[in-house]
Amino acid sequence: MKNNYGFISNLIFSYRKLYQLQRKQIIFQIIEIIFAVLTPIIAVLIPSLIVNSLQNGITINDMVLLCFFIFIGYGFVSAINSYVSKRNFFRYISYRQLIFVEYQEKAITVPLSDWESESFKQAYYAGTHALNSNSRGVEDFHIKFTALISSIIGFIIYCGIASSLNGWIVVILIVLTLFHFSFFNKAVKDDNKITEEIISSIYKQWEYFIKIKCDTKAAKDIRIYELGNWLLGKHHQASKKLYEGNKRIKLNYFRYEFIGIIIQFIRDILCYGYLIIQLKNGLDPSLFVLYIGIIIGISKWVSDIATISGNLYADSSYMNNMRYILDYKTTENQFGENISSVDSISIEFKNVSFSYPESDRLILDNVSFKINHGEKVALVGINGAGKSTIVKLICGFYTPTSGIILINDMPLNDLNQKEYLKYCSCVFQDSLIMSTPICENIACVPSNQIDYTRLERVINEAGLSDKINSLVDGYHTYIGTEINENGINLSGGEIQKVILARALYHHNALFLLDEPTAALDAIAENKVYALYDETIKYATSLFISHRLSSTKFCDKILVLSNSKITESGNHDELINLNGLYAKMFKIQSQYYEEGCETNEIQTNLI
């Protein structure tokens, strides 16, 4: 899924972003370039200046004084160079983090159906490698580009000084430099190809098995089924592949370094031989020292240019993945119509079909139904029938392959999605519970923005009051111990009450409950649904549950089977219809009869 934006495009992007986020940094980059070039030039000039002074018969006292001022000046320039370099390094960290925030914000707006695509997830994962390290991607790109410009300017200045000795020396140096660079560039391209393979597959496996071994949720299975050696073997295989990949990279660079040594040997033989001949023919010793320093400096500039160019190529490659995500087009409509303030919402599916982007299988096939204002509707069906897909379509997370969804008689696609979702309270089987205070989990805002009058009301309505009152810190108690060691672990039923309180806190017009009680036993589930029935008075509600006990208080039941709505009606009507619903209900009733000890419990469940 990666787009190849190209080096120039990534360069323009980087400096546009830098100007947008930290424009002063560009000035400090220029200062860093100036001092990065000036520092080595002064270092080359110092020995030549000292030799020249000795040739001219300078006294010891004057020499000491000269050296004092020379080294004070050189120390001052070096200090500025070091300060600016370190200062820029830390500014680039904050610059990278700001882009990472934008990257994550963009990811949130990507349609859920795309997130469930494996190719998109791989592209997102690869893109994070441009943002989660100092040594690659957006941050390293600026560091290396600054160093590259410094090296190029230094190379040009040094070549200019060398040309005053002999123009052919410069021509030879440039030819050897290009030859040197071409070999290194080939090595870098091979390196990037190998690295891309490691990041996209092997490294991902390696990280996965580390995560599994450290996951406390997996610890029980690892011990019971003796998975330890098997997992270690998998991790060892991934490590071995990583080692082989890195070995290929090292061998690749060894070839480059060997050729580089040969090129450098030829360059030094030619340059030093020529300088020695010139010294014998009367070249001033101070100039000889200067030119020796220049030749050595040119070698370093050449090596730096080759190395940095390769690193920049790699950084640009990482940025391709990142920019693919940043430029990813979303279907979220933020400029559509707003729903006027209402107590309930009507929903209508008209001939809606849906299939995932990378699949031809229809999850929903020409589905039509209507949920009226204030209706409580149950959606039932076997696993994989598409019930959760309907909820995600109602939320606007998915876009129908064909057909239309009407919300209050307005097409869902024409609505401002962010504003529309403010009227929706969704409770999923895997609803997010954060390691933050209970009050923040309910209100979903920082503590200083919570309406505490409303908070206390919904805590009471959700049946959480007794639990909250038993806690020393009340609703400021943390859930879990990941952030606060004094946090508590809640039972499944208590977590469901927190989620119910969250839904009630936002007093929305539409409640969507997608198997929120799947992890609870039947009795606990029945109590939770009774709470929902009691507290959700006027809103439109859609309930999804495998257990049919949730259907007894609903106005209407929709049965989803074979990608279609096959049955619709209330409980009694569907029992008399003697279709799939009646069959499912009969099976569950039999199960409860066999498992219950009293008729009272059976009655509560069904």
Q: Quote the radius of gyration of the chain (alpha carbons, Å).
A: 35
Q: Say if CB 496 and CB 523 are below 8 A apart.
A: no
Per-residue pLDDT, 12: 94
User: Which pLDDT tens digit goes with each residue over 236-280?
Assistant: 888 888 788 777 777 776 777 777 778 778 877 888 888 888 888
Per-residue pLDDT, 516: 72
Instruction: Give the other-Cβ count within 10 Å of 345's Cβ.
Output: 22
Per-residue pLDDT, 114: 78
Please name which of 328, 345, 485 lies closest in space to residue 423, comparing C-alpha atoms.
345
Residues 363-375: what's their mean pLDDT? Answer: 93
Per-residue pLDDT, 604: 37
Domains 342-423+508-606 and 431-507 share a fold: yes
Of residues 602 and 134, which shows the higher confidence score? Answer: 134
Task: Among 132-146, 470-484, 514-528, 568-582, name the one with the lowest average pLDDT.
Answer: 514-528
pLDDT at 78 over 90: yes
Per-residue pLDDT, 1: 47
User: Which pLDDT tens digit goes with each residue over 564-593?
Assistant: 999 999 988 999 999 999 988 888 776 655
Per-residue pLDDT, 353: 95
Task: Among 182-186, 196-200, 502-506, name the one with the lowest average pLDDT.
Answer: 196-200
Per-residue pLDDT, 188: 66
Alpha helices by DSSP H, listed for 327-437, are 387-395, 417-421
How does residue 600 score in pLDDT terms, banded at 50, 70 and 90? Answer: very low
State the Cα–Cα distance between residues 509 and 342, nearest whole angstrom: 7
Q: Structure pTM? A: 0.71
Residues 49-68: what's their mean pLDDT? Answer: 87
State the Cα–Cα distance between residues 159 and 167, nearest whole angstrom: 9
Chain centroid to CA 113: 17
% of residues, the chain, pLDDT over 70: 89
Per-residue pLDDT, 338: 76
Per-residue pLDDT, 605: 34
Q: Where are the domains of the chain?
A: 7-202+236-326, 342-423+508-606, 431-507
Per-residue pLDDT, 164: 81
Q: Say if CB 185 and CB 259 are below 8 A apart.
A: no
Of residues 312 and 191, which shows the higher confidence score? Answer: 312
pLDDT at 298 over 70: yes
Query: Is the four-CA dihedral 84, 90, 96, 99 of positive or negative sign?
Result: negative
User: Which residues 6+ apart lie within 8 Å of 197 measured at CB?
Assistant: 245
User: Which pLDDT tens digit goes with each residue over 437-482?
Assistant: 999 999 999 999 999 999 999 898 888 899 999 999 999 999 988 8
State the Cα–Cα distance between residues 183 and 306, nearest whole angstrom: 9
Tokens 């690869």 sit at which residue?
126
pLDDT at 50 over 80: yes
Q: Hey, what CATH class is 342-423+508-606 in?
A: alpha beta
CATH of 431-507 among 3.10.180.10, 3.10.20.340, 1.10.390.10, 3.40.50.300: 3.40.50.300
- Give residue 5's identity as a one-letter amino acid code: Y
| Mean pLDDT computed over every residue of the chain | 84
Task: Among 93-107, 333-347, 505-519, name the one with the lowest average pLDDT.
Answer: 333-347
Distances (CA, A) of 72 to 43, 256, 290, 408: 12, 40, 21, 78
User: Which pLDDT tens digit goes with each residue over 324-352?
Assistant: 999 887 655 555 677 766 778 999 999 99
State the Cα–Cα distance between residues 325 and 106, nearest whole angstrom: 7
Per-residue pLDDT, 522: 67
Per-residue pLDDT, 547: 72
Please check whether the domain covering 7-202+236-326 is classified as CATH 1.10.260.30. Answer: no
